[in-house]
Amino acid sequence: MDIKSQIIREMDALDPNALQDFYGLLLNFLHGRRVDGEWSDLSAAQRSGLLDALSQVENEQTLPHEQLAAKYKNRYPGA
C-alpha cells in the first residue's frame, strides 16, 4: 500500500474533532509553522492542567456556563 492510501485510511478512521486537529497540524506543517513551541514553553503543571481539562471535556465532565457562573456568583457576591 502506498503512503497516500495509508494516510487516507488513517484519516477516515478519525472522529470529526481529531480530523479537525489533524487538518490544523497538516496546514501548519505545509506552511512551516511549528506547533510544539508554545507547548514546550509551558511548565509541567500547566501542561498537566491542560491535559486534565481536555480529558474532562472528552469525558463530558463539564458544566454549562450558566451553572458555573451562578455557583461563583453566589459564592462571591458583588464580584
pTM for this predicted structure: 0.43
23 CB-side CA count, 13 A = 8
Ordered by start, the domain boundaries in the chain are: 1-35, 36-79
Backbone phi and psi for residue 5, each to the nearest 5 degrees, phi listed first = -65, -40
Q: What type of residue is 8?
A: I
Q: For 11-34, what is each residue's pLDDT tens digit?
A: 999 999 889 989 888 888 888 766
pLDDT of 35 over the 80 cut: no
